[in-house]
Structure 1
Amino acid sequence: MTADLLRREEALARVLSHVAVLGAEDVPTGSAVGRVLAADALAAVDLPPFVSSAMDGFAVRAEDTPGTLVIVERIAAGLPSSRGLSRGEAMGIATGGVVPEGADAVVPIEYVVEHDNKVETSEPVVRGANVRPRGGDVRAGVAVVPRGTRIAAAQVGALAAAGIAGVACTRRPRVAVLSTGTELRRPGETLGPGQVYEANAVMLAAAVAAANAVVEQLPAVADNENAHRAALERALSADVVVTSGGVSVGPHDLVRRVAGELGVEEVFWGVSVKPGKPVSFGVRGRTLVFGLPGNPVSSLVGCELFVRPALLALQGAAEPGPVYEPGRLAVAVRRNPRRDELLRARRTIRDSGVFLEPITGQESHMIARTAGTDALVLAPSGTGELPAGAAVRYLPLA
């Protein structure tokens, strides 16, 4: 198997080459968080939709300053003035209020002296000061958020402000998650000899849900061909199938063979990465099928490296990832001569940047230790070691 291992980058490229973006559906703007835009969202109005004040103060004509001006009206946000501004006049105005015709500047309230319904300015005011031009943020008909953007709170705010009530988003992918293994029992049940609690399916379901998938978590199946066949046939109706366990070369590793009998064409098996070497990927029609290892950390790493990017690509994300961030090692790390390693680590923020300290106990079964980490540090294959302070890339886990 070692000679046939794919490089991590090549494996991801093969996965993404089999992705066909899903169809679009209309989604209310307020419900679109986490969704990916299927088309540019165009502003319905100029933003701001009128010339407005950037400060609480007084709307004036710049050529009338400095001097004493008569206050003829007071403008609240949402309540424009009843007339324009004439020479020698000022109007009180709130932030966001409509600047009246004739005014070309706003003097902040703290820079004036108000008395007897008059306002006195002691310094000349520059034309355009504290005035927000109509359409200064975006013009009607211009893209507020481009296609392929994954929507977060900032995008929702921008869409709503631009008068966009709903957006076209790519359909959320349907993902079936299946764990295999006779030894698996649900948390809370009494363990018998040789049995362990099933953690992979719930972990993977949480991970793919974070990528905005609609998840169906199937009951774990024993190492039995008929049970595998029934569960996989059901799972293959989804857009994506994610299994854990049963993808290696042991006598009870049935997933790849049974999937093949059900028409899954295997694209690759085995990636030059640690943990997670025996990951498999195949397709049946447009359904993507990922076989992740049974060791929980290997399963998590495989999901982050391959499944999550595939899910975001299915949704048309402009940058499906994985998106690595820069940091520095807090301690030295010995490199693996044959495989890239993803090391679980803790992040520390210092004045000079992000520092990452890999935890002790990097074995692929040690999922409990992963709970105390928030990063996967990429240590490229090679000889020797990466010294403390070396620049590295990492994937955030939280």
Structure 2
Amino acid sequence: MPETFTNAINTILNHIKPTAPENIFLDGALGRVLATPVKAPWDIPRWDNSAMDGYAIHAADSSCQCQLQVTGFIAAGETAQDLEVSPGTAVKIMTGAPTPPGCAAVVPVENTREDSGKIIIEKPVPLGSHIRWQSEDIQQQQVVLKQGTILQAPHINLLASLGFAQVSVSMQPRIAILATGDELVELGQTPGESQIINSNSYALAAAVKEAGGVPVMLGTARDCRQSLLEKLHAGQQADMLITSAGISAGDRDLVRQVLDELGLEIHFWKVDIKPGRPTAFGQIRGVPTFCLPGNPVASILTFEAFVRPALRKMTGHQHFFRPVRQGRLEHEVKRKSGRREFMRVLVTENSKGELFVSSAGDQNTGIMSTMVRANGVAILPEDRGNLLAGEYVTLFLLNPAEPLEQV
């Protein structure tokens, strides 16, 4: 009995555990996921400092137009040493330099005139002007980055500012990828009659990388027990195993038989979705194992539906699924109820931010060009048959960072 989509994804996520943490140097941390929260070891700013090139003045001189004697100079990187601001005096100060005792405000240099060692302030200065106060940004022991944060340039800037040369992140899991079938030849070989190139392994490897894993290419297993045993045994050394093809009811589809020999604990063997009904998930001695269809379109879409969320959980992400949005159908969609369907679509957007959805082309799973043209996937529910033009459907974008065509 095929499993429902909801039960299938819940089963998968219930059996996936995050990878162990590892410490890596900050220059290799871009895009990685924090394994533990980060606390600030000190305040930022660490001291009161000037936000402008100018003059540090006393509170007594802030509300008047006056002449002040310049008694010292503090550059960025220096300390105030014995300097102190007292009434009637000013200390010249550079951006980032620590403010000296007695400083109540900094007057930008462009708001002053200098004459014979004195400065002339021509208008009152609000107290606290142009001073960055100690800890006004971050306080010592404050949690500055949460577990699960995906590290981008601003996060790395902050970590470096706080002195972290290394950071604890979730390890990137090694994902073994195996294609099966006598009809497959490897990239670089010329396919003969009735042969096709093993393209699935490269597509799945790219998808694994995008999701945060490290692909391990096992090549192609032939439709014989010994070849499958050797390849699948090698796959057990990884953190996850993905196979494509070989799981239908065909006479030579031996994958399940060999997986059973290796001790596969099967959780489901089929799912009520379209495309991708012959999709399976289980574990071999604790290694999550996905068996995806051999059809290239179905292989990519079932990876999106099942493997990508599992990989996101393994790599420490807090959100496992692509964000979903609502879009309005531009045409009728004829279909039968009973299975959740993943429809390849073109998504456009109007000036109000409303999304419009149309088919990316022939939805036959043998039509790869439709997958290439699509920029989104519409999720059509199990309990609905035909959908009318103008109805709203749930969808996710395949490349959310890519701007949508405006209509």
Q: Is the TM-score greater than 0.5?
A: yes
Between the aligned partners of 2:94 and 2:200, the Cα distance in structure 1 is 56
What displacement does 1:189 show? 1.8
Q: Closer, same or farther in 2 for the Cα pair 1:86/1:201, shift >3 Å?
A: same
Tell me the residue number matched to 1:376: 377
Q: Closer, same or farther in 2 for the Cα pair 1:305/1:56, shift >3 Å?
A: farther
Tell me the residue number matched to 1:306: 306
Between the aligned partners of 2:39 and 2:245, the Cα distance in structure 1 is 46
Alignment of 1:265-344 (within 5 A): 265-319=265-319, 321-329=320-328, 331-332=330-331, 334=333, 336=335, 337-344=337-344
Between the aligned partners of 1:249 and 1:157, the Cα distance in structure 2 is 54
Ranges of 4+ aligned residues in structure 1 off by more than 6 Å: none
Alignment partner of 1:397 out of 386, 395, 399:
399
Alignment partner of 2:65 out of 63, 67, 72:
67
Matched, 1:40 2:42: no
Other structure's SS at 1:364 match = coil
Between the aligned partners of 1:108 and 1:333, the Cα distance in structure 2 is 66
Match of 1:397, as an amino acid?
N
Tell me the residue number matched to 1:207: 207
Instruction: Report sequence identity in percent.
Output: 33
1:226-252: CA deviation from partner (whole Å, max 9, x where unpaired)? 211211111112110011111222223
State whether residues 113 and 121 of structure 2, in contact with CA within 8 Å, keep that contact through their aligned partners in structure 1.
Answer: no
What displacement does 1:176 show? 0.5
Match of 2:378, as an amino acid?
V
Between the aligned partners of 2:315 and 2:323, the Cα distance in structure 1 is 20
Other structure's SS at 1:313 match = helix
State whether residues 62 and 126 of structure 1, in contact with CA within 8 Å, keep that contact through their aligned partners in structure 2.
Answer: no
State whether residues 328 and 388 of structure 1, in contact with CA within 8 Å, keep that contact through their aligned partners in structure 2.
Answer: no
**Mean Cα deviation higher: 68-77 or 374-383:** 68-77
> For structure 2, which runs of at least 5 residues remain unmatched after alignment?
401-407
Tell me the residue number matched to 2:51: 54
**Mean Cα deviation higher: 120-129 or 358-367:** 120-129
What displacement does 1:46 show? 1.4
Alignment partner of 2:3 out of 1, 6, 17:
6
Tell me the residue number matched to 2:167: 167
Q: Closer, same or farther in 2 for the Cα pair 1:13/1:57, shift >3 Å?
A: farther
Q: Closer, same or farther in 2 for the Cα pair 1:122/1:363, shift >3 Å?
A: farther
**Mean Cα deviation higher: 180-189 or 385-394:** 385-394
What displacement does 1:256 show? 2.1
Q: Closer, same or farther in 2 for the Cα pair 1:6/1:134, shift >3 Å?
A: farther
Match of 2:222, as an amino acid?
A
State whether residues 148 and 317 of structure 1, in contact with CA within 8 Å, keep that contact through their aligned partners in structure 2.
Answer: yes
Between the aligned partners of 2:297 and 2:310, the Cα distance in structure 1 is 19
1:81-103: CA deviation from partner (whole Å, max 9, x where unpaired)? 44232223334444433233222
What displacement does 1:161 show? 1.4
Matched, 1:20 2:21: no
Between the aligned partners of 1:349 and 1:54, the Cα distance in structure 2 is 43
Matched, 1:131 2:131: yes
Q: Closer, same or farther in 2 for the Cα pair 1:223/1:207, shift >3 Å?
A: same
1:374-395: CA deviation from partner (whole Å, max 9, x where unpaired)? 3323333313425447363314
Match of 1:52, as an amino acid?
N
Between the aligned partners of 2:6 and 2:123, the Cα distance in structure 1 is 63
State whether residues 40 and 145 of structure 1, in contact with CA within 8 Å, keep that contact through their aligned partners in structure 2.
Answer: yes
Between the aligned partners of 2:109 and 2:324, the Cα distance in structure 1 is 45
1:277-333: CA deviation from partner (whole Å, max 9, x where unpaired)? 2211001222000011111121111212221221222233222x1132425236235
Tell me the residue number matched to 2:186: 186
Other structure's SS at 1:385 match = coil
1:28-84: CA deviation from partner (whole Å, max 9, x where unpaired)? 222222332222222222122222333444433454224234444444332344423
Give the superposed CA RMSD.
2.5
Q: Closer, same or farther in 2 for the Cα pair 1:309/1:221, shift >3 Å?
A: same
Rg comparison, structure with higher value:
2
Between the aligned partners of 2:76 and 2:332, the Cα distance in structure 1 is 59
Match of 2:20, as an amino acid?
G
- TM-score, with normalisation over the residues of structure 2? 0.87
What displacement does 1:172 show? 1.9
Other structure's SS at 2:24 match = strand
Q: Closer, same or farther in 2 for the Cα pair 1:89/1:253, shift >3 Å?
A: farther
Between the aligned partners of 1:289 and 1:158, the Cα distance in structure 2 is 38
Match of 2:38, as an amino acid?
A
Alignment of 1:143-154 (within 5 A): 143-154=143-154
Tell me the residue number matched to 2:88: 88
Other structure's SS at 1:309 match = helix
Between the aligned partners of 1:229 and 1:397, the Cα distance in structure 2 is 37
Between the aligned partners of 1:246 and 1:386, the Cα distance in structure 2 is 37
**Mean Cα deviation higher: 177-186 or 137-146:** 137-146
Aligned residues: 393
Q: Closer, same or farther in 2 for the Cα pair 1:244/1:108, shift >3 Å?
A: farther
1:7-37: CA deviation from partner (whole Å, max 9, x where unpaired)? 3232111111112232222212222223322
Between the aligned partners of 1:259 and 1:366, the Cα distance in structure 2 is 30
State whether residues 19 and 170 of structure 2, in contact with CA within 8 Å, keep that contact through their aligned partners in structure 1.
Answer: yes
Q: Closer, same or farther in 2 for the Cα pair 1:179/1:64, shift >3 Å?
A: same
Match of 1:115, as an amino acid?
E
Tell me the residue number matched to 1:114: 113
State whether residues 329 and 393 of structure 2, in contact with CA within 8 Å, keep that contact through their aligned partners in structure 1.
Answer: no
